[in-house]
Structure 1
Amino acid sequence: MTKAYFKAILREIWRSKARFFSILLIIFLGVAFYTGIRATGPDMLQAADTYFAKQKLATNSVQSTMGLTKADTKVLDKHQDVLTYQAVKYLDVNQLNNNRVVRVSELPTKQSLDQLTVVSGRLPKRANEIVLDQQAKRLQPSLKLGSTYRIVSSKTLNQKFKRRTFKVVGFVNSPRYVENVSRGVTTVGKGTLDYLAFVQPKTLRLNVATRIDVQFKNLAKVTPYSATYKRLNKQNTAKLKRWLKPQAKKRQQQLQRQARAKLKPLAQQVAALKAQVPATTPALVKLTAQLKAATAQVNAIEKPTYLYTDRSDNPGYTEYHENTQRVVALSTVFPLFFIAIAALICLTTMTRMVEELRLQMGTLKALGYSNAAVGSEFMIYGGLAALVGTGLGVGFGVNFFPQFIAQAYGSMYNLPAISVQYLWPDIMVALVIALVCTLGTALVVLRVDLRSLPAQLLQPKAPKAGQTLLLERWRGLWRRLSFNHKITLRNLFRYKQRLLMTVLGIAGCMAMMITGFGLKDSIGDISSKQFNELWHYDAIVTRNGQETAAQKRTISRPKLYQNSLLLKSKQVTIKQNGVAEQTATLGVPKAMAQLNRFVVLRNRQTHRVYHLSNQGAIIDEKLAKLYDVKVGDQLPIKLAGQTTKKVKIAAIAENYVNHFVYLSPTYYQHVFGAKPVYNANLVQFKTTNEKKENAYANTLLKQAGILNVTLMSTEKKTNFKMFDSMNLVVLIFVVSAGALALVVLYNLTNINVSERIRELSTIKVLGFYDGEVTMYIFRENLILTGLGIIFGCFLGNWLHAYILQTAETNALMFSPGIHPMSYVYSALLTVAFSLVVMIMMHRKLKRVNMLDALKSVD
């Protein structure tokens, strides 16, 4: 390539800088989207991996129904070459003074595992100091550094604390609980933990450890969630079970020895009395019976059950990985969808460029330049746009999108900020795609012209021939159309490639905007549908047993009270291979016929109302989807302390937040072999008032036997605060789609004007005003925009459904509908972009030099 030829290429880039920068911008947007969203999932996983390693999160945990002793830790001491362990003591407490269920744990003298992250303040150093989970601050805003924290629970639990008044010296995050809302299940109070508290050792009166946390050394450098991690963890769990298996029998024998030692004085007393009095003496008979009963109890002491869990049982751990996989799923379809539009526009742009430079190509070929040299101009032109666009796109996308999306998920998890990673395989794929979009399309367009003779290239290309439209045969309508309208319709079908590209480009952008607005609708509808249409109660009152007369009076006496429903409410777990363990609320209403006044159980699509029967359970739609079950199938559920039971599914009902399983009293007894204990009330209020509701809850908590009062207004405020951050994701969709729509419309309109500049100059010479010349083009654009909007509505529906399916969490189901106004907003934005482009084109057309445009190219 000569120096002069290279200068000519640079001049061509500068002469057609609008076209060059439009290609660059399209490549930039496509690459930024692809590399940015592709990097988000790995970046989020890397942040979790680093956090778990830094805080030394345990890989496994062991618990026992009778506690864990030093004999258990001695077994683990023998295997210190392969593991590290830490014994933990904790109590779950139902706080009667603040209506919360709290896990109070003693901090080990040295935190070798599960190290806490101090968010503010410091860790406790004295016996009267306490640190609280960061979740406590969200649930109880009055808690601050330096404030007094009191533990007020049942008399039995209070006695297990050496002190119950503490000074708050810090707020922390535990690596065991990365999710901001859930803290797992418990057998205390309402069945779920609200937050955690940590105190100094020897605060609790416990003789044995509650849990032993274990970290296997062979997993230290293995990436969490990977197949290798799962395989090694399975082997490690099997080893742990094998090592501790003999301990159950030893612990049983130890407890029996301790119990017999306590009986020894009684046995000696009976033996001494037998030697002194006849066997029929009443006192001897009574003592003998007591000894016999006590001995029977000692012999009845069973072996403790050892429970083995791993990280996947921690709330949020598995779900976080599933969320990153959802982002990965989005990154495979959405950016490619974006790039496909870019490829179409590049094809149109490069086609126009080749047609414009036919004369130059013919001249160069006549001068003896080879096909490679002639084609190199287009290769350099397109390649430079691809390289610069890719470089800028990677720099922007990798640094912006992961941070933006992780921030949206950040409200759901307490993990540290992500670090940017440049994933070179994905960057290379993006570069190849960008080069294919430019160089590939240029080669496709050049393949004919490079084979042509110079004489053919030096002649102008014949304009596209007009053709008779089918619409012209409808003579009644065609005669009534004005000349301008007839020309518009003929031109639309004359340039079919432009018609197709414009419609597809606008449809793609319209689809992405509909998806963005649709996501906002789907997220926003969760709150209104769940709390206004499906749940018609204002509070849940949890007791320690059946309702007493005093409790009934306390619940129904305040003026705020309207109605209530007695039911059994317990947390159950559902576990199945391939699906993260789910927690659901088991509900058994005493008055089955009254349930639908408090909870609407209906089909989501038909709104047909379901009623409980004695033939099976009603479960929520998301739970059925997760476990791939339908009506008539069996679902395994497990109550704490009981074996897994299977329930038959009688109906699947609409629900958006959390999971439920409703059974009739008769069916519950059939499944679990016992009558339900109605330990809860769903309560309806006459009016909603935060101050009155809090006063009502405080009154109930003073009543003996009432463990917890959950106000739905508080739940709504807490659970849906996280959805505000999802607006960031919606903003990404709308802004990105809008930017692409603007570039697409500008590029295609600019090409259209360039192709027909002689035609437009001719009509200007014939006396058309500037506005009429602009409308000559704008009418076509408006029709194409309308067609793109119509096609985009269908495409947007499909893309929105796909995004919802991949973006849902396990405990959440999005409302699948899109509001009509979302279609209107998307259409109006698309039309607005079209108007902006036409204003720009109008200014360009006003400055057209008609004489130059009409010069012959012969």
Structure 2
Amino acid sequence: MKAGLKTAFRLFKKHFARFTTIIAIVAVSIGFMSGIGEVENKIKIGARDLYEQSRVTDLYIKSSSPSGFTPQEIVTVCQRFGEENVKTGFCYETAKGENALRVYWLNVEDSLGKIELLEGELPTQEGEILAERETEGLTSCAVGDTVYIPNPMTGGETAYTVSGIVYNPLHIYNEDEPSFTKREDSQEDVLTLKEIYYFHTQTPPIINDIYVRVGNEAFGELFSNDYEENIAIVKAETETLLGDGATVLTLYENIGMYSLFSYAEKVGQIGIIFVVFFLLVTLLVVYSTMSRLFEEERAQIACQKTLGIADNRITGKYVWFVAVGSAIGGGIGFFIGLLLTSLLYNGFNMQYRMPPFPDSLNFYYYALTFGIILLANVVLAALCGKKATSSKPAQLLTPKAPKAGKKVILERIPFIWKALSFKYKSTVRNVLLFKSRFLMTVISVVGATVLVFAGLGLFNCAVNHGEAGSLIGISAVLIVFSGVLCALVIYNLTNINVSERTREIATLMVLGYHEREVTGYIYREVYIMCAIGAVLGVPLGMAFVNFVFDFISFGSLAEVEWWSYVLTPVMTMLFGFISTLLLRKKIVKTDMNASLKTIE
């Protein structure tokens, strides 16, 4: 085995904790970014599959005449769109208590706007009727139940037996749907639709509904920009064709189909914003990891330069270290992203009857996020390597002089400084003396805290907006991934901190400090920096959340509950506590003999 390959393997073994940290943080970031980025695409593919398979109609034309459409009007529509693309029926609505009831007369077996039979069978005799599936908004019915339908002609009610339960793709929405009916004594603009029934017939009493499918390949994909432009033109043409006696509605007026696409776009917009934020935090962590790694490897780099090894070859070993870690993390992140996309897609079932999850693989978001992170990590490692190898071997072999001691700001405030015990004085000095370490940790914690607050804020608004239940899953995922990212950030920076200070830790052990005192020496600094980052993260999180809500036109900062402001810093401190516990073993197992050796 070549010497270069051996040293590369030794590098992986020696810095295995940092290597696994890079893998973990890249996996979390790519999993989140590719997973949430693909949700919008999957929803649109699923809805378009439903649109094609069920031949969902694009236009719903309703007659405003009590006698419905005339035969000539029906012929005119058929001539314009083709008889195979037109379905007719009769529909009426009536108030029933505080809500509304809708009844359709149409051919349920028609392939146009296909209605799916979920339970039971189609009516075979008079007195039988079909009922729409149960949702949060629609009353439940079972096969064999007796329902009472108001008769608008007599003013009484007629009993019917439910022979089957069906699903109409135009009623994909699981929440309350507005009816076309407004009762004069009602305080609301419209009543809520609570019951939907179907009479299976090919000869409705009159025809007051016409369903038209106009979409084709040239027309544009469902809810694309081309589709929106073309459907608006067709709607205007149809209104001109039928005059004032008809109302023309498109799928943009269908609350279920349109809101599904609207929320899918919001998920995509949320993904864009948080992808950028996750990327910045990830790159900050990788940069801090590699810059500290090169500091520790100064002597090794000096020896290699002395042996005449080229700077590019020396740097290449560390670039390879980052590239392999990023590649493994990217592979894991791919499967995390697939799982996340599936979970978020199925989460929309809370609000909609979603089509089956599309099994087609789209590598666009994954390839994009993985490519950006891999390239950025490699460039960062190369820049750090160039800076390290630009020094002469003699300079690299000489340890950097310890930072000169000086008074920190609290020492200039006597009544505070004198009140502190020795251990807290040393903690404050260490925190404020090493400014780069302090800023790196605080900025990373602030970024993670902002993400946690954004997740909680989005959750609050999703709960407050009953129609936005599908966004609850997005907010929950955001909270979890932000928390994991926060824990990884704190763990990584604390691990680097401990690795740099083994000599200091060993000195405390030699002086007789107990394990609790030694770990507390490090933990206090971590908790102080976490607390500062958590406190600063809340107001910055407020500004970020306000920007997000404006960007996606949903929710407001006023809807964020008070407990989110409290829970955000608490969660950040909790993740910091968990991270420090994971490093306890490394601290107490510090080799005093090896750590106190010096190359001075």
Q: When the two structures are superposed, what TM-score results if normalisation uses the length of structure 2?
A: 0.90
After superposition, residues 123-162 of structure 1 pair within 5 angstroms as: 123-135=122-134, 139-141=138-140, 143-156=141-154
**Cα deviation digits, residues 669-699 of structure 1 (max 9, x gap):** xxxxxxxxxxxxxxxxxxxxxxxxxxxxxxx
Looking at structure 2, the residues matched to 502 and 419 of structure 1 have their Cα atoms a distance apart, in angstroms, of 42
- 1:430–1:523 CA distance, 2 compared to 1 (3 A): closer
Q: Is the 8 A contact 1:183 1:195 kept in 2?
A: no
* Amino acid of the structure 1 residue aligned with 2:227: Y
Give the equivalent residue in structure 1 for 2:51: 52
Counterpart CA distance in 2 for 1:129 and 1:332 is 51
Whether the 8 Å CA contact 1:91–1:103 is kept in 2: the answer is yes
| Aligned residue among 430, 441, 445 for 1:502 | 441
Distance 1:513 1:313 in 2: 36
Matched, 1:362 2:336: no
Q: Which amino acid aligns with 1:837?
A: S
In 2, Cα distance between equivalents of 1:220 and 1:168: 42
Which residue of 456, 459, 465 corresponds with 1:517? 456
Structure 1: how far apart are the matches of 2:406 and 2:476?
A: 45
Report if the CA contact (8 A) 1:83-1:216 is conserved: no
The aligned amino acid for 2:580 is M
Is 1:857 the equivalent of 2:599? yes
String of CA shifts for 1:513-550, please: whole Å, max 9, x gaps. 333334444455x4xxxxxxxxxxxxxxxxxxxxxxxx
Match of 1:447 in 2: 386
Match in the other structure for 2:234: 236
- Paired residue type of 1:372: N
1:25 Cα offset (Å): 0.6
SS of match in other structure, 2:112: coil
1:102 aligns with 2:41: no
Match of 1:816 among 558, 563, 567: 558
Q: Does 1:759 align with 2:504?
A: yes
Bigger fraction of residues in helix? 2
Larger Rg: 1
The amino acid of 2:251's aligned partner reads R
C-alpha contact 1:523 1:815 (8 A) present in aligned 2? no
Partner of 1:85 in structure 2? 86
In the TM superposition, 1:335-354 aligns within 5 A as 335-354=275-294
Match of 2:179 among 185, 190, 195: 185
* Counterpart Cα distance in 1 of 2:506 and 2:354: 63
Q: Gaps (5+ residues) in structure 2? A: none
- Alpha-carbon distance in structure 1 between the residues aligned to 2:576 and 2:287: 21
The one-letter code sitting in structure 2 at the alignment partner of 1:129 is E
User: Which one of the candidate residues 308, 315, 335 is aligned to 1:395?
Assistant: 335
Residue 109 of structure 1 and its aligned partner are, at CA, apart by 6.9
8 Å contact 2:91–2:105 — kept in the other structure? yes
Q: State the Cα distance separating 1:359 from its structure 2 match.
A: 1.4
1:760 is displaced (CA, Å) by: 1.8
- Taking a change above 3 Å as real, the CA distance of residues 477 and 60 of structure 1, as seen in their structure-2 partners, is closer
Contact 2:22/2:286 (8 A) holds in 1? yes
Aligned 1:13-28 pairs, distance under 5 A: 13-28=12-27
Q: 1:41 to 1:751 in 2, by over 3 A?
A: same
Aligned to 1:124, the other structure's residue is in SS state: coil
Equivalent pairs counted in the alignment come to 592
Deviations 1:548-596 (A, max 9, x none): xxxxxxxxxxxxxxxxxxxxxxxxxxxxxxxxxxxxxxxxxxxxxxxxx
Quote how far apart the aligned CAs of 1:139 are. 4.0
Deviation digits for residues 602-656 of structure 1 (CA, Å, limit 9, x no counterpart): xxxxxxxxxxxxxxxxxxxxxxxxxxxxxxxxxxxxxxxxxxxxxxxxxxxxxx7
* Alpha carbons of structure 1 residues 823 and 393: separation in structure 2 relative to 1, 3 Å: same
Change (3 A) 1:187 1:819: closer
1:825 aligned to 2:570? no
Task: Determine the C-alpha separation between the residues in 1 that align with 2:431 and 2:135.
Answer: 64
SS in 2 for 1:186: coil
**Contact kept? 1:178, 1:415, Cα under 8 Å:** yes
* Aligned residue among 476, 485, 494 for 2:424: 485
What is the CA–CA distance in structure 1 between the aligned matches of 2:212 and 2:578, rounded to whole Å? 63
What's the RMSD between the two structures over aligned residues?
2.8
Task: Name the SS for the 1:68 alignment partner.
Answer: coil
How far did 1:348 drift?
Answer: 0.8
Q: Residues 114 and 815 of structure 1: is their aligned pair in 2 closer, same or farther, counting only changes over 3 Å?
A: farther
Question: How much does 1:437 deviate?
Answer: 4.3
The 5 A counterparts of 1:419-498 are 419=358, 422-498=361-437
The answer to whether the Cα contact below 8 Å between 1:522 and 1:816 also exists between their aligned partners in 2 is no
The 5 A counterparts of 1:415-814 are: 415-419=354-358, 422-523=361-462, 526=464, 723=469, 728-805=473-550
| TM-score under structure 1 length normalisation | 0.64
| Contact 2:61 2:249 (8 Å CA) reproduced | yes
* Counterpart contact for 1:90–1:106, Cα < 8 Å: yes
Contact 1:394 1:427 in 2 (8 A): yes
* Greater mean alpha carbon deviation, residues 180-189 or residues 406-415: 180-189
Q: CA deviation at 1:149?
A: 2.3
* Distance across 1 between alignment mates of 2:279 and 2:583: 26
Deviation at 1:23, TM superposition (A): 1.0
> What one-letter code is carried by the residue in structure 2 that aligns with 1:197?
Y
- Checking the alignment, whether the CA contact within 8 Å between 1:43 and 1:420 is kept in structure 2 is no
Mapped contact 1:801–1:816 kept (Cα < 8 A): no
CA distance in 2, matches of 1:515, 1:100: 38
Aligned position for 2:223: 225
Cα 1:364–1:331 change in 2 (3 A) is same
Q: Percent identity?
A: 25
Deviation at 1:775, TM superposition (A): 1.7
